[in-house]
Amino acid sequence: TIDIINLQTTGESAFAPHWHTQQDNMDIIDKNTLEAVGETLLQVIYEIASPAS
């Protein structure tokens, strides 16, 4: 399981107003955040799967 949380650094709360509500869905995930998580995950998987040098 991987949590994808787009943490906002402005405003009263660090989380978006829709976070953990019925409006929280895949359509509103920030594409840049999703890309960064995906690239990081792939790098970790490749490093784990590679034989030790």
Count CA atoms closer than 13 A to 44's CA, side-chain side.
Answer: 7
* Average pLDDT estimate for 27-40: 86
45 vs 10, more confident: 45
- Position 42 pLDDT exceeds 90: yes
This prediction has a pTM of: 0.57
Residues with Cβ < 8 Å from 44, sequence gap 6 or more?
Answer: none
Q: What number is the average pLDDT over the span 17-22?
A: 81
DSSP string, 18-36: TTTSTT--GGGS-HHHHHH
Give the pLDDT confidence score for residue 40 in this predicted structure: 92
For 14, the enclosing helix (H) or strand (E) is none
Q: Average pLDDT in the 2-15 region?
A: 70
- How far apart are the C-alpha atoms of 47 and 41, rounded to whole Å? 10
Question: Is the per-residue pLDDT at 10 higher than 90?
Answer: no
